[in-house]
Homo-oligomer: A and B are copies of this chain.
């Protein structure tokens, strides 16, 4: 690396140094490193980048952010960073954001409304260009947050939020798909492991559950609380097996719960799918490697990431609410594949 020197003292290379070496104006140097607002001919841009490399010039993006009002950063608030389905979405978001010239700042709320508000304030103070949020709380609690300066995109709200964009899987349709598949396999005592059983019909997944049985003129199957965790799925399945009328099929509304359910069924010597068929929801990579492999209704992590980012960067061209489709992948746990 060549360092810009004056006499014996070393100083940091400036935009003017780069402009001089590349024989362009300082404005052109800015256009190259800001990706705009004017286009620069590829040859010229290459010359500028070459000069910057030689001089070790590093544009200071914080100073630039204060000047332009954009930090080219997307803030992302998530319940935690270790849920495998969300991890797939985060990875896709980071990749797509980088491709668009944006960096991503991830923060975790740990399902705590106070922490969530704290993270929102921090991101706003950092002048992020948008906040993407998988909310731990009813969106009304975030209504007081000023959104004019900073677009909000909710990543798993299935109902429109005034002044914000919402992108979500169509949970209601997804659950119906799963239940109809199990009914198609001749199952009549289907139970659900639900992450949010305590919310009852306020949860779209549970709405889909009721709707599916209503469509099929069947009594609604039992619901057990499973907290979206492996341990929750394990305990809920044990509780189902201890009932007087154990189920002949289980639908788990997350892969984590389904993995806990499989463990419980194996421990009790229950044959899958002969005694109890299982269908899961999420379709993470995990689900293809369990024993038996899980039939899943799969969410499209890449599509979610693309839609969320589009809503954040181009809100005027995006509908306020987008519900994304799922697809059923038949594998061993329902009996489709031997």
Task: Tell me the A residues contacting B by CB distance below 8 Å.
Answer: 1, 56, 58-63, 65-66, 71, 73, 80-82, 84, 87-88, 90-91, 94-95, 98, 103-108, 110, 115, 121-122, 124-127, 144, 146, 230, 234, 259-260, 262-263, 266, 285-286, 288-291, 293
Q: Write out the residue numbers on chain B whose beta carbons fall within 8 Å of the beta carbon of A259.
A: 286, 289
Among B108, B121, B288, B291, the residue within 8 A (CB) of A91 is B108
Is the beta-carbon distance between A91 and B87 smaller than 8 angstroms? no
Q: Write out the residue numbers on chain B whose beta carbons fall within 8 Å of the beta carbon of A58.
A: 121, 124-125
Among B80, B90, B125, the residue within 8 A (CB) of A60 is B125
Is the beta-carbon distance between B91 and A230 smaller than 8 angstroms? no
Is the beta-carbon distance between A260 and B289 smaller than 8 angstroms? yes
Is the beta-carbon distance between A82 and B71 smaller than 8 angstroms? no
Known: A62-B126, A126-B103. A263 touches B234 (CB 8 A): no
Is the beta-carbon distance between A95 and B110 smaller than 8 angstroms? yes
Q: Write out the residue numbers on chain B whose beta carbons fall within 8 Å of the beta carbon of A82.
A: 84, 87-88, 90-91
Is the beta-carbon distance between B66 and A95 smaller than 8 angstroms? no
Is the beta-carbon distance between A103 and B105 smaller than 8 angstroms? yes
Q: Write out the residue numbers on chain B whose beta carbons fall within 8 Å of the beta carbon of A110.
A: 95
In the bound assembly, the distance between CA atoms of A105 and B73 in angstroms comes to 9
Among B84, B125, B266, the residue within 8 A (CB) of A291 is B266
Q: Write out the residue numbers on chain B whose beta carbons fall within 8 Å of the beta carbon of A88.
A: 82
Q: How many protomers of this protein does the assembly include?
A: 2
In the bound assembly, the distance between CA atoms of A281 and B108 in angstroms comes to 27
In the bound assembly, the distance between CA atoms of A58 and B122 in angstroms comes to 8
* A–B pairs, 29, beta carbons within 8 Å: A1-B144, A58-B125, A60-B125, A61-B122, A61-B125, A61-B126, A62-B71, A62-B125, A62-B126, A62-B127, A73-B105, A81-B87, A81-B91, A82-B90, A84-B87, A87-B87, A91-B108, A94-B106, A94-B107, A95-B110, A98-B108, A103-B105, A103-B107, A104-B107, A230-B286, A259-B289, A263-B289, A263-B290, A290-B290
Q: Enumerate the 6 nearest inter-chain pairs by beta-carbon distance, A residue then B residue, closest first.
A: A82-B87, A81-B91, A266-B291, A61-B125, A81-B90, A106-B106
In the bound assembly, the distance between CA atoms of A62 and B82 in angstroms comes to 29
A157 CB → nearest B CB, Å? 22
In the bound assembly, the distance between CA atoms of A103 and B291 in angstroms comes to 40
Is the beta-carbon distance between A104 and B103 smaller than 8 angstroms? no
Among B71, B125, B291, the residue within 8 A (CB) of A262 is B291
Q: Write out the residue numbers on chain B whose beta carbons fall within 8 Å of the beta carbon of A60.
A: 125, 127
6 further A-B contacts with Cβ under 8 Å, apart from A56-B146, A60-B127, are A82-B90, A94-B108, A95-B108, A106-B106, A230-B289, A259-B289
In the bound assembly, the distance between CA atoms of A94 and B98 in angstroms comes to 20
